Structure formats: structure tokens, C-alpha cells
Amino acid sequence: MDHNLKNSIQEIRRIFHSPAKVNLFLRILFKRADNYHELLSVMQPISLYDEIAFSISDGDSIKVACGHCEVPEGRDNIAYRAAEFVLGRIGLKRAVSIDINKKIPVGAGLGGGSSDAATTLMALNGMLDARIPRNELMEMGAKLGSDVPFFILKGSALAKGRGEVLQSVKIPKFNYILINPGFHVSTAWVYNNLDLTKKAEDNNLSYSEKDFAEYGKIREYLVNDLESVTVARFTEISEIKSLLMENGAMGALMSGSGPTVFGVFPDEQSAGLAYENLRRSLKKNYSLFKVQGL
């Protein structure tokens, strides 16, 4: 059916919530011929969200707005390109307006931009009744960014390849405290400074779902190969990890390329107590979040 032959439509408005993620472990295996890095990671979406308002009406335009000074608007925003993909796929002309209210820190290792792109693909697919299958949406997402397919999967996953090869996994909905030190870390800079001259056995990490279900062992599975790069330049990362452990975390780790650090807590009560203690003592430029896995 040619969508352009449809009659004029009334404006459609909807608001969606776009979650962040944490990497419970992240191993970088080698640099591939396509200049991406082969990785192995377990990721869990968390209850920290950007709020995105979508509006669809008659016309032929895409507009992306965001009041955050570090987030590009218009065509330079990844959500714009996601909207182009959906409209192009179904051959439809519409005026699409996307207004992003950023709650996820920018450049923080939490996947906020990728999540916004994934939400745009899924939201427009539904609002336009496009009926694009999820596997095709994930293929579109992989062209936008390595983490985008993960957010379309909706749930914890073991990620391989450059992050787009996903296997759903069942792990506890952990209680987390997140601390963001208020500065931006470039993912490209971290990868460019990563030392891959490690022994082959150091690149192997056995994994099973029950490993993460055993709370007492969680600390030994919290591994991030990118952490050493970021810590070497920003000593705050190590300080934040120690702070979380001192406040009852079973383990603490930098997420993605950083600089956000998360602590894993055994229950909501202990996370709440740590949150209150940290809220009174943290530096003013730090951001503090109490969240759960989804």
C-alpha cells in the first residue's frame, strides 16, 4: 500500500521513555578489519530514562529538539537519522517532531543516544502502523550505532561482535547506585588508547546466567577492559568506586567507556541507605541516581 495515498491525518502525539544501560562486564577481544572492536559484554537496561515526545502530522519534515547544550539538534542527532530510516522504509511523507528531554547524562557510558535512536525506531513503527518486524528494526539500529539493537531487544543481553550480536539472558534485576562525575569521556578516545597487547587467555571470560544470580560472586564478574584507559586520565573513577564499596556495594564498575560508575547492591533497602549517605556527601558537580535493572 502506498502510504502517501492516505487521506490527511490528525496530529498524533505520544511520549515514550528511553532507558539507559550498564555493562556488567565488557571485554575487548581484538580490533577487527573494519576498524570496529570485537567485544563480549553483558548489558542490563536500567530505570533511568530520557523522555521523548513524538508528534506526527501532515507534511514532509523531521525536526529534533533537545534543550541540552551537549546534544545536537536536527540532522546531526541520531534520532533524526532513525526517523529517516523508518519513513524511507515505508515510503511515507509525514511531518515528524521529536522533542528529547535528557535525563541520562551525555557521554557517560550509559547508552543514552543509542537508546533514543532505538526508541525513535520503535515509536514511529507503532505510531505509523508501519509493522516493520523487530529483527529488521534491529538491523536498522545496527547501522545507527552498535548499542541501538540492544535497546530494541528490551532486556538483559549477552552482546558479541561489535555489540550488535545479541542473546537474551536472565539475570537478577539488580539494585544500582550510579555516580556520574560531571565530565564527558569520548568513546573514540578510549578505544584509541586501549592496549590490546594482552595474552590470549586474558581475553577469555567464561559466562553463565547463574554466575550473576550468585550475589556473593558478583564482584569477580564485574570486569571492564576500558576502565584502565579512563582511570589513567581521570582518577575520580577509582575514587568513586571506593566510595560505593565503602557504602555497601557488593561490587562497583565503570559502565561502557565511562565515566559513570555503578555500584551493585543486594537489595533496595541497602541501595536506599547508600543513596542517602552519598547524597549528603558527594561533590556538587556529581550526579547521583538510584535505579533498578529492567
Active-site entry in 50, 102, 116, 147 = 147
Report the predicted TM-score, pTM, of the whole model to 2 decimal places.
Answer: 0.92
What's the rounded Cα separation, in Å, for the pair 66 and 77?
A: 9
202 pLDDT higher than 70: no
**What pLDDT score does 8 carry?**
62
211 pLDDT higher than 80: no
| Whether 147 contacts 24, CB under 8 Å | no
Q: State mean pLDDT over 96-102.
A: 97
Cα-flanking dihedrals φ and ψ of residue 11, to 5°? Answer: -60, 135
294 pLDDT higher than 70: yes
DSSP letter for 8, please: P
pLDDT tens digits for range 277-289: 999 999 889 999 9
Question: For strand 61-66 and strand 95-101, is the pairing parallel, antiparallel, or unpaired?
Answer: parallel
Q: State mean pLDDT over 233-257.
A: 96
199 pLDDT higher than 90: no
**What pLDDT score does 10 carry?**
82
The CB density around residue 23, as the number of other CB atoms within 10 Å, is 28
Of the ranges 78-87, 155-164, 222-231, the best mean pLDDT one: 78-87
Instruction: Give the pLDDT band of residue 261 (cuts 50, 70, 90).
Output: very high
Is 6 in the active site? no
What percentage of the chain exceeds 70 in pLDDT?
A: 90
54 to each of 63, 65, 172, 199, 249, how far by Cα in Å?
A: 10, 11, 32, 49, 38
| Whether 107 contacts 142, CB under 8 Å | no
**What pLDDT score does 208 carry?**
63
109 pLDDT higher than 80: yes
**What pLDDT score does 5 carry?**
41
12 pLDDT higher than 60: yes
Cα-flanking dihedrals φ and ψ of residue 19, to 5°? Answer: -80, 155
Helix (H) or strand (E) holding 63: strand 61-66
What's the rounded Cα separation, in Å, for the pair 113 and 101?
A: 12
Domains in the chain: ranges and CATH: 3-29+45-154 (3.30.230.10), 170-292 (3.30.70.890)
Q: State mean pLDDT over 4-20.
A: 81
2 pLDDT higher than 50: no
Sign of the CA dihedral with 237 first, then 238, 243, and 244 last: positive
Is 21 in the active site? yes
**What pLDDT score does 85 carry?**
97
4 to each of 92, 93, 149, how far by Cα in Å?
A: 6, 6, 29
Helix (H) or strand (E) holding 248: none
3 pLDDT higher than 70: no
55 to each of 42, 102, 148, how far by Cα in Å?
A: 34, 17, 22
pLDDT tens digits for range 128-143: 999 999 999 999 999 9
More confident residue, 207 or 233: 233
pLDDT tens digits for range 36-95: 889 999 999 999 999 999 999 999 999 999 988 888 898 999 999 999 999 999 999 999
Calculate the average pLDDT of the chain.
91
What percentage of the chain exceeds 90 in pLDDT?
A: 74
Span of 158-167, 200-209, 246-255, 266-275 with lowest mean pLDDT: 200-209
**What pLDDT score does 219 carry?**
77
